[in-house]
Structure 1
């Protein structure tokens, strides 16, 4: 979702008067509220992968009175294109895929050799046909300083030393996750070097944060905040150490220096869209494999990125 903001920024740059309404999962709406380009946030009430044909028809009928003149469909699935079709939106732009002829009537070719990054794919759908890609506008989320102050007070956060955020989770699977012992060793070294460490994530990452905090002086905030709170806590951090995850892109979008750790994925495909970054990627012969678990069983792509190496990159910046 964060990378889609580059598309929204481009659309507003090209036509400052255009109104962008975004249909998205409910969990993402508070973060989308931090995107000044978005006019309205609309709930997409379907689980990932759920067809829900009749419910999509009903949602399309509900949207009809808005008389939208264009829909840009970012996913390449058939089901993602159904709501704009049912809403009677006259121009429905999207990539070719899943037999969407007619449902998508402004069909664009999907050339991976040209559109080799997710953000380029999103941005391309906002361009005219055969228009070259412009310079990519980086995402930029608004920061709520009042909410920051509330969080400092309610969570008992100390700011007498620079803060390093850690995000040990990743949705896709363990082949994207730097070992917990490496995070823990880094947290101890950061404490000795004069930093506070906050471990950030959802309730799902709470056990990961607890494992790091139990072996160091890091503060485990996983599950104690809402996603939109994490936006403001990342903005207060000097740097953020993260696997290739959504929170890595949030950190980039609030101007925090990103220390990204890549294993089974590639920093070329999903880089944080900021100049303030240090990326650790060993580029082994077996990587990127894009697998959920290491198919060779050794996870060298992550285990051989040492805490000392990551610490040096933080201190240097």
Structure 2
């Protein structure tokens, strides 16, 4: 197997959790070239994976078929003569490109009317008994050797690398902002899924002030997408303009975010893509869970601590609290997070 294509998931956290699959494939086929077709917003994850030969970026849009784009990509990919393709999203449209490109083995989970488009398949696990996501993706790696093949001996904790250009870019930004790079704490207040994954901004603000008070050299950088910028502004307003707290939401590329997280003393985040990046970089972290299940999507790192209240109503997996009180997050107090932060390994 000398050439393999991966169709990447569309979410950053899911993309991080596919890295052990790449490592498994590389272990099975050491001479293979593994290319990844990814949307522009998750492509940086695969640039941080040492197993990847080439990242092919595509301007995919959520919930859009984009038939012309997919047909054009398939034509270009057909010239590369891939022997196998792993289709990691469950959607019909994600399976179209490898089928149009006539890739012989098209591997993935059954679902969304993909019969024929996927020709080497596993049944999707039930929502009640879902395995951790890393194991979910890893299971596909054995299909080329038969469904009952022994799993490859591969580390199931994702691992990312930092590019030198991104590292130098972040160093320059820190210097311009007069931020001491040796005392950075990163806070990630966003979560794309919705409010039931977002710890209250008031709690983030109180924690940020406590960290700044503990050591005047400490600097807190609020990190996230442009969509998280308003959350970060709320946090800043509740800290009354504390000069130790900096809003970088929407001001960094994902490559730069990876570099910044790698050099920080600790990360405090919700269950989000940046949480998984911190885990894959082995940065000390506190991960706050609300409506989601830490058994299914935990930060896979021995330097991570999870805070989850495990209330009778959770995990509900809803975007909005169905009971209207959001106790699963509101009742996680800043003092508890600070105490957990102080127990992290360095």
Q: Name the TM tier (shorter chain).
A: over 0.9
Match of residue 169 from structure 2: 147
Name structure 1 gaps, 5 residues minimum: none
Structure-2 residue corresponding to 1:157:
179
- Identify the residue that residue 125 of structure 1 maps to in structure 2: 140
1:149-189 C-alpha deviation (Å, 9 max, x unpaired) = 223223322236x3221000000100110000000011111
Q: Show the counterpart of 2:234.
A: 211
* Aligned mate of 1:193, from 214, 223, 243: 214
Contact 1:71 1:84 in 2 (8 A): yes
Match for residue 330 of structure 2? 303
Conserved 8 A contact 2:171-2:181: no
Structure 2 unaligned runs (5+)?
Answer: 1-14
The Cα of 1:285 is off from its aligned counterpart by: 0.6
Structure 1 position 57 matched with structure 2 position 57: no
Contact 2:169 2:256 in 1 (8 A): yes
Structure-2 change in CA distance of 1:171 and 1:100 (3 Å): same
1:35 pairs with one of 45, 49, 55: 49
Give the aligned partner of residue 9 of structure 2.
Answer: none
3-state SS in 1 of match to 2:36: strand
Do the aligned partners of residues 33 and 24 (structure 1) sit closer, same or farther apart at CA in structure 2, a change above 3 Å counting? same
Q: Which sits farther off after the overlay, 40-49 or 227-236?
A: 40-49
Would the alpha carbon gap of residues 154 and 95 (structure 1) be closer, same or farther in structure 2, given more than 3 Å must change? same
Instruction: State how far apart, in whole Å, the 2-side matches of 1:270 and 1:33 are.
Output: 22
Indicate conservation of the 8 Å contact 2:74/2:97, yes or no.
yes
Q: Residue 322 of structure 2: SS of its match in structure 1? A: coil
Among 266, 289, 294, the alignment partner of 2:293 is 266
CA distance in 2, matches of 1:32, 1:149: 22
What is the CA deviation profile of residues 215-234 of structure 1, one whole-angstrom value per residue up to 9, with x for unaligned ones? 33311111222111111111
Q: CA deviation at 1:136?
A: 4.2
Aligned to 1:17: 31
Residues 9 and 137, structure 1, Cα contact 8 Å, conserved in 2: no
- What is the distance in 1 between the residues matched to 2:191 and 2:297? 13
Per the normalisation by structure 1, the TM-score is 0.94
Secondary structure in structure 1 of the residue aligned to 2:106: strand
Do 1:206 and 1:220's aligned partners in 2 also have CA atoms closer than 8 Å?
yes
Contact 1:7–1:123 (8 Å) recurs in 2: yes
d(CA) in 2 for partners of 1:287, 1:135: 32
Q: How many residues align?
A: 316
Equivalent position of 1:167 in the other structure: 188
Residue of structure 1 aligned with 2:275, choices 248, 270, 274: 248
Alignment deviations for residues 183-231 of structure 1 (CA, whole Å, 9 cap, x no partner): 0011111111123211111222111112212333311111222111111
Q: CA RMSD in A?
A: 1.7
TM-score, length basis structure 2: 0.87
Bigger shift: 285-294 or 250-259? Answer: 250-259
Q: Distance in 1 between matches of 2:294 and 2:85?
A: 30
